[in-house]
Amino acid sequence: MEVAVFSSTRYERRYLDGANRNGAHKLHYFDVLLDTDTAGLAAGYGAVCIFVNDKADAEVLGALHRGGTRLLALRCTGFNNVDLAAAAGLGMKVVRVVTYSPNSVAEHAVALLLAINRKVHRAYNRTRDSNFSLDGLTGFDLCGKTVAVVGTGKIGCVFAKIMLGFGCRVIGFDPQPSAEFQALGLSYAKPGEIGEQADVISLHCPLTPATHHVINPQTLARAKRGAILINTSRGGLLDTEAAIDALKTGQLGGLGIDVYEQESNLFFRDLSSEIITDDVFQRLVSFPNVIVTGHQAYLTHEALTTICETTLESVSAFENNRTLENEVKIQ
C-alpha cells in the first residue's frame, strides 16, 4: 500500500524502513506537518501516517478523503489532534499505537524530576566553566516524599513503581481506577489530598476536553508550596501562563516538561539560528528551575521499533481487510 508519512525525521525513517523490510508498503516521506496547506501532498495515497503535532481536523480530513485516503495511521498513542467524528462521517478508519514502551516515557519523567530536584542542569553548566561552587544546588531526598500520579494507565503505573523504589509514598488520581495501580498496594487521592500533601505531581493522562488545563491557577494555588510538577503527556494539560505565575511566587518549586501547548510551532525542528517569537515559551525557559525537552520521552530504540512495527501492521491489516485491533472509534 502507498503511504504518505508526514512529520518524518531522519532517525524515524530508519525504523520505519526497518519495519517495512519485506517491502510490503511504499513509504513516501514528507518532513512537513500535515495541515490545510500540505494535505494536497497526500493526493493518491490510500493511507496517511501522522504524528502528534500533525493537524487532522474536519477540513484536512475532507481534503485527504477527496485525494483518495481511506486510512489515517497515527504513530503515537494520543489522538487529540484528530476529529474522529469527521473521520467517521467520511468512512475513514483511524488507527493508533495503543502501547509501545511505557518504560521510555516513565523513565524520562523520572529523569526530569531528578535533574530539577538535584539541579543537574545547573551543575553541568557550572562545571563546564570550571565553577565548582555548590551554592544554590541543594535538593531534597525523594525517599519519604509524597508523589501524586495523575493518570494511572500503563505509563502512570510504571512511573509509580519507580517512585516506590525510591521509597516514596505514592497516591493516584484517575476517574477510572486501575487494578494494576491498586495491586501495587496504592490508593487514590481523597479530595484535596494531592494539593495538601504532594511534593511531586506527575501527569500521565491523555488530553481530552475534560483534562484540558487540568493544571490551572486554581489547582496550582491549592498545591503544596514548592511542589515539583512533571508533564510528559500532552502540553494542553498545563496552563503554561498559570505555571509561570506560580514559578514567580515560589508556589511551584520546579517544572519539568517534555510537551508544550504550542509545541507544533517549535518542536522537532532545529531553530537554533532563529529568533523564537513565542514570548510565553521564552519566559518559561528563563527560569533556573525549569527544564524543557523537545517531546523526546518516547525516544528509545525499543519504543521506536514497536511504534513503527505496530503502525505498519495496522496498515497491512487494513489493506487485507483484517480486523483493525488498534482502531480508534468515537466513544
Q: Please name the residue that has the C-alpha cell 525516544.
A: 299
Task: Given the residues 12, 107, 261, 263, select the one marked as catalytic.
Answer: 263
Listing DSSP states for 77-128 in one string gives S--TTB-HHHHHHHT-EEE--S-S-HHHHHHHHHHHHHHHHTTHHHHHHHHH
263: annotated active-site residue: yes
Nearest residue to 205 (alpha-carbon basis) of 89, 77, 292, 86 = 77
* CB-CB contact of 76 with 255 (8 Å): no
Return the closest-CA partner of residue 153 out of 223, 211, 95.
211
Q: What angle do CA 94, 100, 103 make, to 5 degrees?
A: 145
Beta strands of the chain (E only): which ranges?
A: 2-5, 26-29, 47-50, 71-74, 93-95, 146-150, 169-173, 187-188, 200-203, 227-231, 252-257, 290-292
- Residue in this structure with the C-alpha cell 523564537, named with its chain if needed: 276
Contact 129, 314 (CB under 8 A): no
Q: Which three cell numbers stand for residue 210?
A: 475534560
Of the residues 12, 96, 295, 313, only one is catalytic, namely: 295
What distance, in Å, lies between the first and last C-alpha atoms of the chain? 29
- The active-site residue, picked from 65, 107, 234, 313, is 234
Query: Active-site positions?
Result: 234, 263, 295
